[in-house]
Chains A and B, each alone.
Chain A
Amino acid sequence: MTDAERLTVEGIELEVLRRGKGRPILILHGFDTIDSEAPFLDLLGRYGELIVPSHPGFGQSPRPKDFDTVYDLVHLYLATLDALPSDKVTLLGFSFGGWLAAEVGAACSHRLDKLVLVDPIGIKVSDRETPDILDVFNRSPDEVRRRSWHDPDRFAPDYNAMSDDALVVHARNREALCLYAWHPYMHNPQLPRWLDRIAVPTLLVWGASDRVVTPDYGRAYSRLIPNSRFALIGRAGHHPEIEQPEAFVERVAEFLNP
């Protein structure tokens, strides 16, 4: 990770990736931190300055003592908006980071110009006996792999081929995710009530083959956000930015610069 830098917010030190120039685009990662080699970074970097922190406990970002809830993460990113020089920031969140971005949008949309949620989790839409979000801790690794990717053989990480350091990062990511999102599992029961506070144009991008959270879940999510639209990316699962980087960036670029 050669271009890794640090960003300090409220005394909390974050590992951060930066790419591109122009309007600030704050990117909140999902279950895993974002690989600095991911092709979508350079493609998206043509449309703005990407600021990609690793959440505390993920990647190389330390987790301060007693920083252990989504509440802490939301306040951290609200503080991050204040720490950035621009008045308005574009906020983009993937999956778990999409949940955080939706929370930040509901709390503070006057600091945003646009919001992009990519296969976000964070709300409950079905009845109490129907899980909406695949249990990535309790289901078998094979099932999680199958349901996460359109083409798992091509895109799912091969743990046997990864370096020890990369695997430690993955294990840190899993542990931090589990700490933050075990209960209530991957959602905030109160969030749907407040999503209509998001007062900026919002794009929900969804992998058509996502079976961690399905496109129908995404459509329900979109209905709760007033000025939002929903876009499907074909031949992609929970990570359209990885499986279809060109199509993904094209959709996001159209939304940012209509």
Chain B
Amino acid sequence: MQAWYHCENVYPFVPQEVLDRADSVRASLPNKYCDPDIAANLFEECLDEHLLCDELGVNVVSIEHHSGINSLYGASPMILGILARQTKRVRILSLGTLISIRPDPVRIAEEYATADVISRGRLEIGFVKSGDSEMVSGNANPVGFVDRFWEAIDLILKSLTSHDGPVSWEGKHFTHRHINIWPPPYQRPHPPLWAATGDPETSAELGRRGIINALVLRGPEASKRAFDAYRHARREAGLPAPGTDRFAYAALAYVGDTDEEGVRIGSKLLWFLNTSLKQAPQYSRLLPGRTPPEIASQNYRTQPRPGAPVVRRPADSLIGITAEQAIARGILCAGNPDTVYRQIMDIHKTVGGFGHFIFIGRSGFLDHHEAEKGIRLLAKEVLPRLPAATTTAAAEPAHAAE
């Protein structure tokens, strides 16, 4: 199994009374609360954690979130560029540039190809749909963003795989008449593709396309539903059954010397759920386009109608969660190496296997020193015991350009 270290580079140092007073810790929280000196230290620490991963054989993830305490990685391609140069061995997953809020997918392809070349073919490209406050911060129309997401993927792939001079794209959402990126990607036909999503319809489409499906903080049951949809869609389409190399499971995770230490420090990761998800209603449940009007309509009620189905986004059910609940729900793996191994294998069994374990190993007030200890223990004491991924027949293996 491949392990992937995922750090959001959060900014937890805003006074609690400011966060309590704000209706949203994303999109509208003034950036005067972000001290650039502290931010510089955080970048240094987080990038060092990625370099430690490189020594230990743990792959690294570069994420992107915008305008809030939940992440300082708003410019993911810049982080990718640094990782591409400074790491030497491991694979680098972008999860990912927010393609549905960026105006020009060709530019994104250019950034990805550059990082792939600098890293000599160690890039993997993950697509995330984004939504909510990031539509607002990104000035992107929330209505129709899923359609835009798929066209952006198609255009990025067209840009990465066209090598014989300019090609043209005049699509529904994007037009670009002269596509001829330099450099082209190092890997051919293109770096491996991922997408982070949880709804079965999207997973089915990923299945048909053979894109690796990552489930982030969704727990085993929802992950199984998504993976089942993926398998089913491939079967329906007459494609070979997927190996576990097509599936990724992401959880908060911390390995300590003892169960007590693992849970005590691992609990700090819950800050991400309990503090950094707060969004004003106009950036979340009342923003059009996220769910069909038949469902979204109930969000206008401040007092739910008796008997009406309660409509909640997946993230809503994570706010306020305790460590015990998070462990029971497969959102958090924490304890000594044996415990964490067992927790991961239980999830592995429930979902029907996965070849990639993405662990969010630093968040909130969990500090650099603690993060590095957790990474070392996971890499040395847990990862070697996890089962190898099975491969997917006829899946295009990534290989370096001649």
A interface list, Cβ under 8 A from B:
66, 68, 137-141, 159-160, 162, 164, 167-168, 170-172, 174-175, 177-179, 182-183
Q: Which of B270-297 contact A (CB under 8 A)?
A: 280-283, 286-289, 293-294, 296-297
Q: Which residue of A lies closest to B302 (CB)?
A: A160
B282 touches A168 (CB 8 A): no
A172-B291 Cα distance, complex, nearest whole Å:
11
A124-B305 Cα distance, complex, nearest whole Å:
41
A159 in contact with B300 given A137-B287, A140-B23, A175-B288 (CB within 8 Å): yes
A170 touches B297 (CB 8 A): yes
18 extra A-B contacts, CB within 8 A, seeds A66-B172, A178-B288, A182-B141: A137-B136, A137-B282, A138-B136, A140-B281, A140-B282, A141-B281, A167-B297, A167-B301, A170-B300, A171-B294, A171-B296, A171-B297, A174-B293, A175-B288, A178-B289, A179-B143, A179-B144, A179-B288
Q: How far is the CB of A172 from chain B (nearest CB, A)?
A: 4
Q: Which of A139, A175, A177, A178 has the most CB of B within 10 A?
A: A175
A177-B142 Cα distance, complex, nearest whole Å:
11
Interface bracket on B: 20 to 34
**B289 cross-chain contacts in A, Cβ below 8 A:** 175, 178-179
CB of B298 closer than 8 Å to a CB of A:
yes
A171-B291 Cα distance, complex, nearest whole Å:
10
**A175 cross-chain contacts in B, Cβ below 8 A:** 143, 288-289, 293, 296
Q: Which of A68, A140, A160 contacts B303 (CB 8 A)?
A: A160
Q: Which of B16-48 contact A (CB under 8 A)?
A: 23
A137 touches B288 (CB 8 A): yes
A170-B300 Cα distance, complex, nearest whole Å:
9
Q: From DSSP, what is the main secondary structure of chain B's interface residues?
A: loop
B293 touches A168 (CB 8 A): yes
A183-B143 Cα distance, complex, nearest whole Å:
11
**A164 cross-chain contacts in B, Cβ below 8 A:** 297-298, 305, 308
Q: From DSSP, what is the main secondary structure of chain A's interface residues?
A: helix
A150-B298 Cα distance, complex, nearest whole Å:
26
Q: Which residue of A lies closest to B298 (CB)?
A: A167
A66-B147 Cα distance, complex, nearest whole Å:
12
A172 in contact with B282 given A167-B298, A178-B288, A179-B144 (CB within 8 Å): no
A77-B320 Cα distance, complex, nearest whole Å:
50
A191-B297 Cα distance, complex, nearest whole Å:
33
**B258 cross-chain contacts in A, Cβ below 8 A:** none
A242-B299 Cα distance, complex, nearest whole Å:
25
**A178 cross-chain contacts in B, Cβ below 8 A:** 141-143, 288-289
Q: How far is the CB of B131 from chain A (nearest CB, A)?
A: 13
CB of B139 closer than 8 Å to a CB of A:
yes
A172 touches B293 (CB 8 A): yes
Q: How far is the CB of A35 from chain B (nearest CB, A)?
A: 16
B302 touches A139 (CB 8 A): no
A154-B281 Cα distance, complex, nearest whole Å:
23
**A170 cross-chain contacts in B, Cβ below 8 A:** 297, 300
A162-B280 Cα distance, complex, nearest whole Å:
23
A140 touches B288 (CB 8 A): no
Q: How far is the CB of A237 from chain B (nearest CB, A)?
A: 19
Q: Which of B115-149 contact A (CB under 8 A)?
A: 136, 139, 141-144
A178-B142 Cα distance, complex, nearest whole Å:
8
Q: Which 6 A-B pairs have the closest CB atoms?
A: A171-B293, A167-B297, A159-B300, A171-B297, A182-B141, A175-B288
Q: How far is the CB of A219 from chain B (nearest CB, A)?
A: 29
Q: How far is the CB of A175 from chain B (nearest CB, A)?
A: 4
A141 touches B286 (CB 8 A): yes
B23 touches A183 (CB 8 A): no
Q: Which of A66, A139, A160, A167 contacts B282 (CB 8 A)?
A: A139
A50-B153 Cα distance, complex, nearest whole Å:
47
Q: How far is the CB of A15 from chain B (nearest CB, A)?
A: 15
A172-B143 Cα distance, complex, nearest whole Å:
11
A68-B23 Cα distance, complex, nearest whole Å:
32
Q: Which residue of A lies closest to B28 (CB)?
A: A138
A139-B28 Cα distance, complex, nearest whole Å:
10
A171-B139 Cα distance, complex, nearest whole Å:
21
